[in-house]
Copies of this chain bind each other. A is one copy, B any other.
Amino acid sequence: MGGSGDKGVEAGAYPARATIRDVAARAGVSIGTASKALNANGRLKQDTIDKVIAAANDLGFRPNAMAQSLHRTRSMTVGVLTNDSFGRFIFPILEALEETLAEHGIAIFMCNATDDPQREQQHVDQLLGKRIDGLLVTARRMDRRPPIAVPGKSMPVIYVFSQTDDPDALCLLPDDRGGAALAVDHLIATGRRRVAHVTGPTEFEAVSLRYQGYLDALTRAGLSPQSDYYRSGAWSEAWGRDAVAQLFGGGIEPPDALFCGNDQIARGAADALRERGLAVPGDVAVVGFDNWDVMALAARPPLSSVDMNLHALGRAAGERLIAMIGGERLAGVERLPCSLVVRQSSGEEPQSAPAPKFQTNKTS
């Protein structure tokens, strides 16, 4: 267990931070000279600049960015608010967002409101008090949410992997419909004609958009959609297995391809097909959605899957926010393209790649 020491008075235990006065004293120059040297304005001898910088480094002095921000238009901080916990779709978006903003010297305040409107408003108030330059709102799922109340519209707001009805807000989302069409185009291009769609609960907007994309691709190819081939259930492997039982259990002509609404469904389906003695992709091709490596790579065979390009989405959100902070007005719903990652589950060749080898250390 960690040691614990004596309780100091408030802020007593950590030494006071160096001020510009301390730096000037150590460098043997005036406060004005020290300030000029550190801010690289005014003409000073290099010798003097070096001396001041050395003193500042010795003392661990950092210019007080907060004080500086009061005298500028911007605080160089933005808020990121989730209305749900940090789901796995959010990580790559946040990573790219943080990376993009950091390149511009902008720091991120993270807040999580776990679907509690009152807590969300407290977070927004706190962020406004910190004079953030902009706000990003994100969520575990992409469905429409109530707009964030920003008094006087004093700040740009972007919804990413989330959307709202506020006409002044910019909403950035993956193009689910286009992504689904990519998957089904691919299945048709590899010779499949009886493509079923096994997906998640119908109340998700993503489910209806992906279904539209599935229909788009069938229509383009002159194929008629069959109602028996559309199956909606849970976002789970168990549902993928169950759907295979429904589709291949008799009573209907079995499909020769499954386009699944996510990788978990696709993985469950691939397992169930194998257990029925059907080869993937030989007898039935399978494509998932999300390109979630944990699922897609561990499946047998590895899954082809639609990638929502969440890193690019996060980067776009960062870039749009910077533009909006700079004065540009952006609004509306922008959908960024998905891409298709083809692996064995929909490849044309039969399953022939050797099983991956892993290093095995037998010790002790």
Contact = CB atoms under 8 A, between A and B. Distances in A.
A111 B107 CA distance: 8
B364 A225 contact: yes
Q: What does DSSP make chain A's interface, helix, strand, loop or mixed?
A: mixed
Interface in A44-58: 57
Contacts of A111: 98, 102, 107-108
A359 B17 contact: no
A153 to B, nearest CB: 7
A238 B298 contact: yes
B2 A59 contact: no
Contacts of A9: 327
Interface in A221-272: 225, 227-228, 230-234, 236-239, 242-243, 246, 264, 268
B246 A360 contact: yes
Interface string A306-331: 00000000000000100011111111
27 contacts: A2-B331, A4-B328, A9-B327, A10-B327, A11-B327, A13-B328, A14-B156, A15-B153, A16-B154, A59-B152, A60-B128, A60-B150, A62-B125, A64-B131, A65-B129, A65-B130, A87-B91, A98-B112, A102-B126, A108-B111, A109-B109, A202-B363, A211-B364, A225-B364, A230-B362, A236-B358, A246-B360
Number of copies of this chain that the complex holds: 2
Contacts of A67: 70
Contact of A363 (B152, B230, B364): B230
A1 B12 CA distance: 54
Contacts of A73: 10-11
A320 B131 CA distance: 28
Interface string A153-166: 11110000000000
